[in-house]
């Protein structure tokens, strides 16, 4: 019940192209960032089940940019990620 009372952070709708790289990986996979807040994002990918729970989300193919993320939920091609340090 406590989770129902928790306020969701304001999310900004983006629908912007992005790139996912896995930890230690160099191959960037395309994705679409559907929306984002200061703590996380909702992304859409072709094959969400192929991704590990740790990844980096960026708005360019440069793997040195972007933010480290942890997958918190999966639903079909959509993933919810939270930003981690």
Q: What is the pLDDT of residues 12-38, one digit of tens each?
A: 898 999 999 887 677 789 999 999 999
- Cβ distance 66 to 57 under 8 Å? yes
pTM for this entry: 0.82
| pLDDT at residue 83 tops 90 | yes
- The reported pLDDT for the residue numbered 11 is 84
* 3-state DSSP assignment of residue 36: strand
Q: How far apart are the C-alpha atoms of 20 and 73, rounded to whole Å?
A: 16
Mean per-residue pLDDT, 2-10: 57
Q: How far apart are the C-alpha atoms of 22 and 76, rounded to whole Å?
A: 19
In the chain, where the domains are located: 2-83
Is domain 2-83 given the CATH code 3.30.450.20 in the classification? no
**H or E segment to which residue 72 belongs:** strand 67-75
- Cβ distance 73 to 49 under 8 Å? no
């Amino acid at each position: 019940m406590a989770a129902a009372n928790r306020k969701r952070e304001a999310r900004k709708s983006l629908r912007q192209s992005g790139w996912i790289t896995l930890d230690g990986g160099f191959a960037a996979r395309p994705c679409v960032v559907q929306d984002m807040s200061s703590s996380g994002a909702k992304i859409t990918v072709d094959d969400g089940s192929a991704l590990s729970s740790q990844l980096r989300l960026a708005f360019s193919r440069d793997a040195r940019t972007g933010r480290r993320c942890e997958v918190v939920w999966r639903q079909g091609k959509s993933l919810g990620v939270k930003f981690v340090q």
